[in-house]
Chains A and B, each alone.
Chain A
Protein backbone atom coordinates (compact mmCIF):
# COMPACT_ATOMS: atom_id res chain seq x y z
CA UNK A 1 0.00 0.00 0.00
CA UNK A 2 2.97 2.25 0.64
CA UNK A 3 4.09 1.57 -2.92
CA UNK A 4 0.57 2.37 -4.19
CA UNK A 5 0.72 5.70 -2.37
CA UNK A 6 4.10 6.43 -3.98
CA UNK A 7 2.81 5.46 -7.45
CA UNK A 8 -0.31 7.60 -7.09
CA UNK A 9 1.79 10.56 -5.93
CA UNK A 10 4.08 10.09 -8.95
CA UNK A 11 1.14 9.97 -11.35
CA UNK A 12 -0.82 12.71 -9.61
CA UNK A 13 -0.34 15.31 -12.33
CA UNK A 14 -1.11 12.89 -15.16
CA UNK A 15 -4.34 11.71 -13.48
CA UNK A 16 -5.39 15.29 -12.91
CA UNK A 17 -4.58 16.13 -16.52
CA UNK A 18 -6.80 13.26 -17.74
CA UNK A 19 -9.54 14.46 -15.41
CA UNK A 20 -9.16 18.06 -16.58
CA UNK A 21 -10.29 17.04 -20.04
CA UNK A 22 -13.46 15.09 -19.20
CA UNK A 23 -14.08 15.64 -15.50
CA UNK A 24 -13.55 18.17 -12.77
CA UNK A 25 -9.76 18.06 -12.79
CA UNK A 26 -9.18 16.82 -9.27
CA UNK A 27 -8.64 13.06 -9.58
CA UNK A 28 -4.86 13.08 -9.16
CA UNK A 29 -4.89 15.59 -6.31
CA UNK A 30 -7.73 13.77 -4.54
CA UNK A 31 -6.18 10.33 -4.91
CA UNK A 32 -2.78 11.59 -3.74
CA UNK A 33 -4.36 13.20 -0.67
CA UNK A 34 -6.31 10.00 0.10
CA UNK A 35 -3.37 7.65 -0.29
CA UNK A 36 -1.10 9.95 1.70
CA UNK A 37 -3.62 9.62 4.56
CA UNK A 38 -3.53 5.84 4.04
CA UNK A 39 0.25 5.86 4.19
CA UNK A 40 0.15 7.76 7.48
CA UNK A 41 -2.35 5.29 8.90
CA UNK A 42 -0.40 2.15 7.94
CA UNK A 43 1.90 1.99 11.01
CA UNK A 44 -1.13 1.82 13.32
CA UNK A 45 -2.55 -1.04 11.23
CA UNK A 46 0.67 -3.08 11.21
CA UNK A 47 0.27 -6.55 12.69
CA UNK A 48 -3.53 -6.51 12.35
CA UNK A 49 -5.31 -9.07 10.19
CA UNK A 50 -5.82 -8.31 6.49
CA UNK A 51 -9.53 -7.63 6.96
CA UNK A 52 -8.85 -4.88 9.50
CA UNK A 53 -6.03 -3.41 7.41
CA UNK A 54 -8.18 -3.19 4.27
CA UNK A 55 -11.13 -1.70 6.16
CA UNK A 56 -8.80 0.85 7.75
CA UNK A 57 -7.51 1.81 4.31
CA UNK A 58 -11.08 2.15 3.03
CA UNK A 59 -12.07 4.45 5.87
CA UNK A 60 -9.07 6.68 5.25
CA UNK A 61 -10.00 6.96 1.57
CA UNK A 62 -13.63 7.81 2.34
CA UNK A 63 -12.56 10.48 4.80
CA UNK A 64 -9.75 12.05 2.82
CA UNK A 65 -10.18 11.80 -0.96
CA UNK A 66 -13.03 14.30 -1.33
CA UNK A 67 -14.14 13.34 -4.84
CA UNK A 68 -16.20 10.45 -6.18
CA UNK A 69 -13.19 8.16 -6.00
CA UNK A 70 -13.32 8.47 -2.18
CA UNK A 71 -16.59 6.64 -1.61
CA UNK A 72 -15.85 4.34 -4.57
CA UNK A 73 -12.34 3.20 -3.65
CA UNK A 74 -13.29 3.46 0.04
CA UNK A 75 -16.19 1.07 -0.44
CA UNK A 76 -13.98 -1.23 -2.54
CA UNK A 77 -11.36 -1.58 0.20
CA UNK A 78 -13.95 -1.88 2.97
CA UNK A 79 -15.81 -4.65 1.12
CA UNK A 80 -12.53 -6.39 0.29
CA UNK A 81 -11.69 -6.14 4.00
CA UNK A 82 -14.99 -7.74 4.94
CA UNK A 83 -14.17 -10.61 2.56
CA UNK A 84 -10.81 -11.09 4.32
CA UNK A 85 -11.95 -10.98 7.94
CA UNK A 86 -9.49 -12.81 10.17
CA UNK A 87 -6.99 -13.63 7.42
CA UNK A 88 -3.31 -13.12 8.23
CA UNK A 89 -2.07 -14.19 4.81
CA UNK A 90 -3.63 -14.19 1.39
CA UNK A 91 -3.56 -16.88 -1.30
CA UNK A 92 -4.78 -16.55 -4.87
CA UNK A 93 -8.31 -17.71 -4.03
CA UNK A 94 -8.64 -15.20 -1.20
CA UNK A 95 -7.36 -12.47 -3.50
CA UNK A 96 -10.03 -13.31 -6.08
CA UNK A 97 -12.71 -13.18 -3.37
CA UNK A 98 -11.40 -9.85 -2.09
CA UNK A 99 -11.35 -8.35 -5.56
CA UNK A 100 -14.81 -9.70 -6.32
CA UNK A 101 -16.13 -8.01 -3.18
CA UNK A 102 -14.32 -4.80 -4.11
CA UNK A 103 -15.75 -4.67 -7.63
CA UNK A 104 -19.26 -5.46 -6.38
CA UNK A 105 -18.84 -2.67 -3.83
CA UNK A 106 -17.95 -0.17 -6.55
CA UNK A 107 -20.90 -1.30 -8.69
CA UNK A 108 -23.23 -0.92 -5.71
CA UNK A 109 -21.90 2.47 -4.59
CA UNK A 110 -21.69 3.99 -8.06
CA UNK A 111 -24.79 2.21 -9.40
CA UNK A 112 -22.55 1.53 -12.37
CA UNK A 113 -21.63 -1.29 -14.74
CA UNK A 114 -18.89 -2.11 -17.17
CA UNK A 115 -19.03 -0.12 -20.41
CA UNK A 116 -19.89 3.30 -18.95
CA UNK A 117 -16.35 4.72 -19.09
CA UNK A 118 -15.48 4.35 -15.43
CA UNK A 119 -12.95 2.53 -13.27
CA UNK A 120 -15.09 -0.59 -13.77
CA UNK A 121 -13.86 -0.78 -17.36
CA UNK A 122 -10.41 -1.58 -15.97
CA UNK A 123 -11.52 -3.58 -12.93
CA UNK A 124 -14.20 -5.86 -14.41
CA UNK A 125 -11.97 -7.30 -17.17
CA UNK A 126 -9.14 -7.56 -14.63
CA UNK A 127 -11.33 -9.53 -12.25
CA UNK A 128 -12.48 -11.84 -15.05
CA UNK A 129 -8.90 -12.52 -16.12
CA UNK A 130 -7.79 -13.03 -12.52
CA UNK A 131 -10.58 -15.46 -11.77
CA UNK A 132 -9.98 -17.36 -14.99
CA UNK A 133 -6.25 -17.59 -14.29
CA UNK A 134 -6.70 -18.85 -10.74
CA UNK A 135 -9.42 -21.32 -11.77
CA UNK A 136 -7.17 -22.77 -14.43
CA UNK A 137 -4.39 -23.37 -11.93
CA UNK A 138 -2.05 -20.46 -12.63
CA UNK A 139 0.07 -19.00 -9.83
CA UNK A 140 -1.23 -15.87 -8.14
CA UNK A 141 1.46 -13.82 -9.84
CA UNK A 142 0.69 -15.18 -13.31
CA UNK A 143 -3.05 -14.69 -12.82
CA UNK A 144 -2.51 -11.13 -11.59
CA UNK A 145 -0.28 -10.43 -14.59
CA UNK A 146 -3.21 -11.48 -16.80
CA UNK A 147 -5.46 -9.19 -14.77
CA UNK A 148 -3.13 -6.23 -15.27
CA UNK A 149 -2.98 -6.92 -19.02
CA UNK A 150 -6.79 -7.02 -19.12
CA UNK A 151 -6.99 -3.76 -17.16
CA UNK A 152 -4.57 -2.13 -19.63
CA UNK A 153 -6.85 -3.13 -22.48
CA UNK A 154 -9.81 -1.86 -20.46
CA UNK A 155 -8.17 1.53 -20.00
CA UNK A 156 -7.49 1.73 -23.74
CA UNK A 157 -11.13 0.75 -24.36
CA UNK A 158 -12.35 3.75 -22.33
CA UNK A 159 -10.96 6.00 -25.09
CA UNK A 160 -13.36 4.45 -27.57
CA UNK A 161 -16.62 4.86 -25.64
CA UNK A 162 -18.89 7.67 -24.52
CA UNK A 163 -19.22 8.25 -20.79
CA UNK A 164 -22.66 7.47 -19.39
CA UNK A 165 -21.72 7.58 -15.68
CA UNK A 166 -19.81 10.06 -13.62
CA UNK A 167 -18.98 13.69 -14.29
CA UNK A 168 -17.78 12.92 -17.83
CA UNK A 169 -21.30 11.84 -18.79
CA UNK A 170 -22.30 15.53 -18.84
CA UNK A 171 -19.99 15.88 -21.84
CA UNK A 172 -21.74 13.19 -23.89
CA UNK A 173 -19.97 12.63 -27.21
CA UNK A 174 -17.21 15.05 -26.31
CA UNK A 175 -15.92 12.41 -23.87
CA UNK A 176 -15.05 10.20 -26.85
CA UNK A 177 -11.33 9.74 -27.53
CA UNK A 178 -10.28 10.48 -23.96
CA UNK A 179 -8.99 7.98 -21.45
CA UNK A 180 -10.89 7.60 -18.20
CA UNK A 181 -8.94 8.83 -15.16
CA UNK A 182 -10.62 6.40 -12.72
CA UNK A 183 -9.85 3.40 -14.92
CA UNK A 184 -6.28 4.66 -15.14
CA UNK A 185 -5.81 4.92 -11.37
CA UNK A 186 -7.33 1.45 -10.95
CA UNK A 187 -4.74 0.13 -13.39
CA UNK A 188 -1.95 1.80 -11.40
CA UNK A 189 -3.12 0.13 -8.19
CA UNK A 190 -3.20 -3.32 -9.83
CA UNK A 191 0.19 -2.78 -11.50
CA UNK A 192 1.74 -1.83 -8.18
CA UNK A 193 0.29 -4.86 -6.39
CA UNK A 194 1.68 -7.08 -9.16
CA UNK A 195 5.12 -5.47 -8.95
CA UNK A 196 5.27 -6.14 -5.20
CA UNK A 197 3.91 -9.67 -5.19
CA UNK A 198 6.55 -12.13 -4.07
Chain B
Protein backbone atom coordinates (compact mmCIF):
# COMPACT_ATOMS: atom_id res chain seq x y z
CA UNK B 1 0.00 0.00 0.00
CA UNK B 2 1.23 3.50 -0.84
CA UNK B 3 2.37 5.43 2.24
CA UNK B 4 1.62 9.12 2.77
CA UNK B 5 3.77 11.72 4.53
CA UNK B 6 2.18 15.00 5.57
CA UNK B 7 4.80 17.78 5.58
CA UNK B 8 3.85 20.98 7.35
CA UNK B 9 5.54 23.89 9.11
CA UNK B 10 3.38 23.06 12.10
CA UNK B 11 3.67 19.81 14.04
CA UNK B 12 0.08 20.22 15.26
CA UNK B 13 -1.24 20.74 11.74
CA UNK B 14 0.62 17.71 10.36
CA UNK B 15 -0.62 15.54 13.23
CA UNK B 16 -4.15 16.90 12.84
CA UNK B 17 -4.20 16.10 9.14
CA UNK B 18 -2.99 12.56 9.87
CA UNK B 19 -5.77 12.28 12.46
CA UNK B 20 -8.39 13.38 9.93
CA UNK B 21 -7.14 10.96 7.28
CA UNK B 22 -7.17 8.17 9.86
CA UNK B 23 -10.81 8.87 10.61
CA UNK B 24 -11.74 7.66 7.12
CA UNK B 25 -8.85 5.44 6.13
CA UNK B 26 -7.17 4.16 9.26
CA UNK B 27 -5.55 1.23 7.44
CA UNK B 28 -3.43 3.54 5.27
CA UNK B 29 0.06 4.30 6.57
CA UNK B 30 0.06 8.09 6.98
CA UNK B 31 2.91 9.78 8.87
CA UNK B 32 3.24 13.34 10.12
CA UNK B 33 6.40 15.35 9.47
CA UNK B 34 5.49 18.69 10.97
CA UNK B 35 7.58 21.39 12.59
CA UNK B 36 11.20 21.39 13.64
CA UNK B 37 12.91 18.76 15.76
CA UNK B 38 12.19 20.84 18.88
CA UNK B 39 8.52 21.23 17.92
CA UNK B 40 8.90 24.84 16.71
CA UNK B 41 7.52 26.11 13.40
CA UNK B 42 9.47 25.13 10.29
CA UNK B 43 10.27 22.07 8.21
CA UNK B 44 12.84 19.47 9.12
CA UNK B 45 14.82 17.37 6.63
CA UNK B 46 15.35 14.82 9.40
CA UNK B 47 11.68 14.52 10.34
CA UNK B 48 10.59 14.15 6.71
CA UNK B 49 13.24 11.47 6.06
CA UNK B 50 12.22 9.54 9.17
CA UNK B 51 8.53 9.76 8.26
CA UNK B 52 9.25 8.43 4.77
CA UNK B 53 11.14 5.51 6.29
CA UNK B 54 8.23 4.75 8.62
CA UNK B 55 5.61 4.39 5.88
CA UNK B 56 7.79 3.21 2.99
CA UNK B 57 7.03 0.05 1.02
CA UNK B 58 7.66 -1.05 -2.57
CA UNK B 59 4.42 0.72 -3.51
CA UNK B 60 6.15 4.01 -2.70
CA UNK B 61 5.39 7.12 -0.70
CA UNK B 62 3.39 10.25 -1.54
CA UNK B 63 4.56 13.53 0.01
CA UNK B 64 1.90 16.17 0.63
CA UNK B 65 3.26 19.56 1.70
CA UNK B 66 1.96 22.91 2.85
CA UNK B 67 4.11 25.70 1.39
CA UNK B 68 7.52 27.22 0.76
CA UNK B 69 10.25 25.40 2.63
CA UNK B 70 7.99 22.37 3.07
CA UNK B 71 8.08 21.89 -0.70
CA UNK B 72 11.79 22.59 -1.04
CA UNK B 73 12.82 20.43 1.90
CA UNK B 74 10.62 17.57 0.64
CA UNK B 75 12.34 17.92 -2.72
CA UNK B 76 15.75 17.59 -1.06
CA UNK B 77 14.67 14.51 0.88
CA UNK B 78 13.55 12.93 -2.42
CA UNK B 79 16.93 13.74 -3.97
CA UNK B 80 18.69 12.11 -1.02
CA UNK B 81 16.65 8.92 -1.56
CA UNK B 82 17.02 8.68 -5.32
CA UNK B 83 16.68 4.89 -5.39
CA UNK B 84 13.26 5.06 -3.78
CA UNK B 85 9.80 5.51 -5.22
CA UNK B 86 8.66 8.87 -3.80
CA UNK B 87 6.41 11.50 -5.38
CA UNK B 88 5.30 14.96 -4.32
CA UNK B 89 1.58 15.49 -4.74
CA UNK B 90 0.33 19.03 -5.39
CA UNK B 91 -2.95 19.61 -3.55
CA UNK B 92 -4.47 21.39 -0.55
CA UNK B 93 -2.90 19.68 2.43
CA UNK B 94 -6.07 18.81 4.37
CA UNK B 95 -8.55 17.85 1.66
CA UNK B 96 -5.81 16.38 -0.51
CA UNK B 97 -4.48 14.09 2.20
CA UNK B 98 -7.94 12.77 3.10
CA UNK B 99 -8.77 12.08 -0.56
CA UNK B 100 -5.32 10.57 -1.18
CA UNK B 101 -5.73 8.21 1.79
CA UNK B 102 -9.14 7.09 0.52
CA UNK B 103 -7.71 6.56 -2.96
CA UNK B 104 -4.83 4.53 -1.58
CA UNK B 105 -7.33 2.43 0.34
CA UNK B 106 -9.17 1.62 -2.87
CA UNK B 107 -5.96 0.55 -4.59
CA UNK B 108 -4.85 3.69 -6.45
CA UNK B 109 -1.15 3.55 -7.28
CA UNK B 110 1.39 6.26 -6.55
CA UNK B 111 1.54 7.07 -10.27
CA UNK B 112 -2.24 7.66 -10.46
CA UNK B 113 -2.54 9.58 -7.22
CA UNK B 114 -1.86 13.12 -8.47
CA UNK B 115 -4.66 12.87 -11.01
CA UNK B 116 -7.07 11.48 -8.42
CA UNK B 117 -6.53 14.32 -5.94
CA UNK B 118 -6.59 17.02 -8.62
CA UNK B 119 -10.12 18.01 -7.66
CA UNK B 120 -9.27 18.39 -3.97
CA UNK B 121 -8.92 22.15 -4.31
CA UNK B 122 -12.28 22.70 -5.95
CA UNK B 123 -15.10 24.70 -4.44
CA UNK B 124 -16.72 23.37 -1.30
CA UNK B 125 -20.10 24.95 -1.91
Which residues of A pack against B, CB within 8 Å?
A: 24, 26, 30, 62-63, 65-72, 74-75, 109-110, 166-167
In the bound complex, residues from chain A placing their C-beta under 8 Å from that of B67 are 167
A-B contacts, 27 of them at CB < 8 A, read: A26-B41, A26-B42, A30-B42, A62-B73, A62-B76, A63-B44, A65-B42, A66-B40, A66-B42, A67-B42, A67-B43, A67-B68, A67-B69, A68-B69, A70-B42, A70-B43, A70-B45, A70-B69, A70-B72, A70-B73, A71-B72, A71-B73, A74-B76, A109-B75, A109-B76, A167-B67, A167-B68
Interface centre among B40, B41, B45, B67 (most CB of A within 10 A): B45
Question: Which single residue of chain A is at the shortest CB-CB distance from B43?
Answer: A66
Q: Is the CB of B69 within 8 A of A71?
A: yes
- Which residues in window 5-19 of B have CB below 8 A to A? none
Give Cα A75 to B45, complex, Å.
Answer: 13
A24 CA to B75 CA in the complex, in Å? Answer: 21
Q: How many residues of B contact A (CB 8 A)?
A: 15
CB distance from A62 to the nearest CB of B (A): 5
Q: Report the separation of the CA atoms of residues A109 and B73 in the bound assembly, to the nearest whole angstrom.
A: 9
Q: How far is the CA of A72 from the CA of B76 in the complex (A)?
A: 10
Bound Cα distance A72, B72 (Å): 8
Which of A26, A66, A75 is within 8 Å of B76, CB to CB?
A75
Cα distance A26–B41 in the bound complex, in angstroms: 9
Q: A62-B45, A63-B46 are in contact. Are A71 and B36 (CB under 8 A)?
A: no
Closest B-chain residue to A62, C-beta based? Answer: B45
Minimum Cβ distance to chain B for residue A181 (Å): 13
Q: Are A109 and B72 in contact (CB under 8 A)?
A: yes
Is A66's CB under 8 angstroms from B44's CB? yes
Across chains A and B, which 3 residue pairs bring their CB atoms closest together, nearest first? Answer: A66-B42, A71-B72, A68-B69
Closest partner residue, chain B, to A169 (CB atom): B68
Q: Chain B residues in contact with chain A, CB under 8 A? A: 36, 40-46, 67-69, 72-73, 75-76
- A66 contacts B75, CB within 8 Å? no
Contact (Cβ within 8 A) B72 A110 = yes
Query: B40 — which chain A residues lie within 8 A by C-beta?
Result: 66
Which residue in chain B gives the minimum CB-CB distance to A59? B45
Query: Taking the nearest CB of chain A, how far is it from the CB of B44, in angstroms?
Result: 7
CA distance A111 to B3 in the complex (A): 27
Chain B nearest Cβ from A178, distance in angstroms: 18
Q: Residues of A contacting B44 with CB < 8 Å?
A: 63, 66
Residues of B with C-beta under 8 A to A74: 76
Tell me the smallest distance from the CB of A158 to a CB of chain B, in Å: 18
- What's the Cα separation between A166 and B72 when bound, in Å? 11
Please, which residues of chain B bring their CB within 8 A of the CB of A166? 68
